[in-house]
Structure 1
């Protein structure tokens, strides 16, 4: 419970960075500003879901799979039969997804800062692109930054194996490399975050009026007119 409270509190600060600027009038159609607002709102919505308790675990788009070296679907001799048993796998699945929540807490302000400072060479191409074109732009802009910044937090979360049975099983398994496991989970969390942002972007594009944002409604509602 304390962990989830920290997640919510952490998101409170991140949400301030992700908040959309007020817009009571529409002084002009700025496609660059429209892309940034689209990404801001998509990110805000995605993180609001992911940073809830069990936000990754309960999300079919974002759920993180157990690494193969911990008995995942393609595990080989590394894992014992007990490690691959359903009760232990269920605990491990919950653990990696709780660690993912810590990653999202660290990622939110990084994404917000990147969106705020990014330059967009061809905003019209993004507006007229596919349903996740802006998310792809964001992913390219961040490169490996998101994963590298999330890694320490996720690694810390993965160390909190609080179940004696799992600790016992892991002590019996050979060649369990927690550094590689942490990297594997962090890579998956990064991909899950982009999938979630992309899903929110697609939803906004499909129904821009739901945002109540005059600029997004004007630009996205106009179709491919630029």
Structure 2
């Protein structure tokens, strides 16, 4: 669990010869580092209203599975806890993908990202990553749900069989992916609100100017 965070920390280390691209790179690296540090703690998803995974509402992707499986509030709550617990472990699979995507990104208009909204860089990262996080986390959700509490097993078995595991696991993966980017976006917004607190000259120069570029 520590390795991805260490890798991201290295990305954020101060360096000379700053460019706008370097500033955005470090902004995303630090935002991701902080987000995964929170999410990979016990209760990292469930204890946070922003990232808590809630089973899909009617009309949302996966809601047909939820309607069939979550027949009572007791089962619904148990599944919600299970999804959020699984997401903590699944985030370990997601972190290297985010790190690699940041490293490979081309910031062709870095200054526009710097002057963009509070989550402009994160929004670009999410588009770059696409469905890769969903695919990476799906095995973790699939194994976690199929091996979890008796309440879940009984509910799914009574609904229509094992295919519900896969559909619910994919819905959970998609929800976890969105939660991860919400968490990164929140960290980006916080850095933008107070760049000097990072003590990273490249980020400070990017967001506040000062002639470094």
User: What range is the shorter-chain TM-score in?
Assistant: 0.7 to 0.9
Contact 2:65 2:167 in 1 (8 A): no
Match of 1:191 in 2: 178
Q: Aligned match of 2:189 in 185, 198, 202?
A: 202
Query: 1:31 aligned to 2:20?
Result: yes
Query: 1:124 aligned to 2:111?
Result: yes
Equivalent pairs, count = 208
Match of 2:158 in 1: 172
Contact 1:38 1:216 in 2 (8 A): yes
Match of 1:100 in 2: 87
Displacement of 1:213 in angstroms is 0.9
With the length of structure 1 as denominator, give the TM-score of the two structures.
0.82
Structure 1 distance, partners of 2:22, 2:186, is: 20
Displacement of 1:75 in angstroms is 6.4
Q: Where does the alignment leave 5 or more consecutive residues of structure 1 unmatched?
A: 1-9
Q: Which has the higher helix share?
A: 2
Q: Pairwise CA RMSD of aligned residues?
A: 2.7
Judging changes above 3 Å, is the alpha-carbon distance between structure 1 residues 156 and 68 closer, same or farther for their aligned structure 2 residues? farther
Q: Where does the alignment leave 5 or more consecutive residues of structure 2 unmatched?
A: none
Judging changes above 3 Å, is the alpha-carbon distance between structure 1 residues 171 and 108 closer, same or farther for their aligned structure 2 residues? same
> Which has the higher relative contact order, 1 or 2, with Cα contacts under 8 A spaced 6 or more apart?
2
Structure 1 distance, partners of 2:66, 2:121, is: 42
Structure 1 stretches of 4+ with a deviation exceeding 6 A read 74-77
Structure 1 distance, partners of 2:44, 2:116, is: 29
